[in-house]
Amino acid sequence: MALHIVDHPLAVHILTLLRDKDTDPAHFRNLCEQLTYFMIVESTRELKTKDVFVETPVEGCQGIALERSLVVVPILRAGLAMLQPFLKVLPDVSVGYVGLERDETTAQARSYYLKLPELKGRDVLILDPMLATGGSAKKALEQVYGEGPASVMMVSIVAAPEGVDLLTSAFPDLPIFTASLDRALNGQRFIVPGLGDFGDRLFGT
Ligand code: PRP
Ligand code: URA
């Protein structure tokens, strides 16, 4: 199974504050940004690199650079919470957008926007903090895989077993990164314990 749980104590500390129902949207946004740095470090660990040579002020030395150009694809809206940290750490990434919205009754994801850059031969990270039924992520992944990328990874913050199972059966080689594998989904297909509606908490809606 390609599930990676990012459980550094500081990441868990930040996630605990994110879960707190009394955390207001401004603090919630800051916490998302902080936690995403941990997700970046872990999710990019296996990216292919090439050797490069650099002159320091003292002498030349060997270093590395990413071999392929990277694309990040936040799933709207909630995935936007994870975008800025990626742009800060990796300013050369290209950004694609997938707009998906779950129906409040059926929890089926409806597509309302799609804008992807060239993905052929590139490494793609899909960003969505909540992996619940997995329906939204699966739809986004089908679009992305259809464009012939070199590799794809899913980066979330909280995942439910149901969503992880759906993605691993549909895409057995897909690495999934999350800060927590929670217990289950409730009757409304919300993650429990989860943190509630991520998009609403992020944007104060
Ligand atoms: C949330 C979340 C995911 C999706 C996860 O988005 O951000 O995209 O639900 O649920 P799933 O795994 O069952 O598909 P939502 O549809 O609420 O839209 P929003 O981000 O605009 O709030
Ligand atoms: N979307 C959310 O924002 N939260 C959940 O728990 C499930 C889907």
Residue with tokens 């927590």: 180
Supply 123's token pair.
């490494």
Q: What is the pTM of this model?
A: 0.96
pLDDT at 200: 97
- The β-bridge partners of 107 are none
Supply 39's token pair.
């997700």
Which atom of ligand 2 approaches the CA of 194 most closely? 6
3-class DSSP state of 109: strand
Domains of the chain, each with CATH number or no CATH = 2-203 (3.40.50.2020)
Per-residue pLDDT tens digits for 79-137? 999 999 999 999 999 999 999 999 999 999 999 999 999 999 999 999 999 999 999 99
Per-residue pLDDT tens digits for 7-64? 999 999 999 999 999 999 999 999 999 999 999 999 999 999 999 999 999 999 999 9
Q: Is 123 labeled as catalytic in the residue annotation?
A: no
Q: How far apart are CA 98 and CA 102, in angstroms?
A: 13
Per-residue pLDDT tens digits for 187-202? 999 999 999 999 999 9
pLDDT at 4: 98
Nearest CA to ligand 2 atom 5: 190
pLDDT at 92: 94
Q: How far apart are CA 4 and CA 74, in angstroms?
A: 19
Q: Is the CB of 182 under 6 A from ligand 1?
A: no
CB 165 within 8 A of CB 135: no
CA of 190 to the centre of ligand 2 (A): 5
Nearest one of 117, 79, 83, 121 to 101, comparing CA atoms: 79
Q: Is the CB of 79 under 6 A from ligand 2?
A: no
Per-residue pLDDT tens digits for 159-193? 999 999 999 999 999 999 999 999 999 999 999 99
CA of 101 to the centre of ligand 1 (A): 6
